[in-house]
Amino acid sequence: MKITELIQSSNPSLSFEVFPPKSSDSYETTCAAAREIARLSPSFMSITYGAGGGTSDYTVSIAAQIQQHHIPTLAHLSCINASRENITHQLDLMRQAGIKNVLALRGDAVLPCKKTHQSRYRYASQLMETIRAYGGFCVGGACYPEMHTESRNQAEDIMHLKEKQDAGCGFLITQMVFDNHVYYNFLCKLRDAGVHIPVIPGIMPVINATQIQRITTLSGATLPQRFRYIVDRFGNDAEAMKQAGIAYATEQIVDLLANGATAVHIYSMNNASVAAKICENLSEILRYQRGVVHEN
Ligand code: FAD
Determine the Cα angle at 250 with ends 249 and 252, to 5°: 65
Task: Say yes or no to pLDDT of 222 above 70.
Answer: yes
142 Cα to the center of ligand 1, angstroms = 6
**Residue whose CA lies nearest to ligand 1 atom number 41:** 107
CA 205, chain centre distance (Å):
13
Contact 134, 99 (CB under 8 A): no
| 107 Rama class: left (phi>0) / alpha (psi -120 to 50) / beta | left
Residue pLDDT, tens place only, 235-257: 999 999 999 999 999 999 999 99
Among 106, 104, 86, residue whose Cα is nearest residue 46: 104
Mean pLDDT lowest for which of 198-212, 246-260, 281-295?
A: 281-295
- Residues that are catalytic: 17
How high is the mean pLDDT of the chain? 93
* Average pLDDT, integer, range 260-286: 96
User: Dihedral sign, CA of 106, 107, 108, 113?
Assistant: negative
Q: Is the pLDDT of residue 295 over 80?
A: no
pLDDT by residue (tens digit) across 63-96? 999 999 999 999 999 999 899 999 999 999 999 9
Q: Percent of the chain having pLDDT more than 90?
A: 84
14-19: average pLDDT: 97
| Most ligand 1 atoms within 8 A of CB, residue of 123, 151, 153 to mutate | 123
Binding pocket residue ranges, ligand 1, CB within 6 Å:
48-51, 76, 78, 103, 105-108, 123-125, 142, 148, 150-151, 157, 160, 163, 173, 175, 202
The predicted structure's pLDDT at residue 81: 87
Question: Phi then psi for 74, rounded to 5 degrees?
Answer: -125, 110
What is the torsional sign of CA 1, 91, 164, 183? positive
> Would you state the pLDDT for residue 118?
63
Mean pLDDT of 188-206: 98
* pTM, rounded to two decimals: 0.96
| Cα–Cα distance, 108 to 57 (Å, whole number) | 17
The pLDDT score that the predictor gives to residue 240 is 97
Residue 49: what pLDDT? 96
Q: What is the pLDDT of residues 135-151, one digit of tens each?
A: 999 999 999 999 999 99
Return the pLDDT at 211.
Answer: 84
Mind giving me the DSSP string for 119-151?
Answer: -S-SSHHHHHHHHHHH-S-EEEEEE-TT--TT-
pLDDT tier at 112, thresholds 50, 70, 90:
low
The answer on pLDDT for 52 being more than 80 is: no
Strands 13-18 and 73-78: unpaired
Average pLDDT over residues 204-225: 88
Gap between the Cα atoms of 86 and 190, Å rounded? 32
Residue 148: the pLDDT is 96
- Is residue 19 within 8 Å of 31, Cβ to Cβ? no
Predicted confidence band of residue 111 (pLDDT cuts 50, 70, 90): low
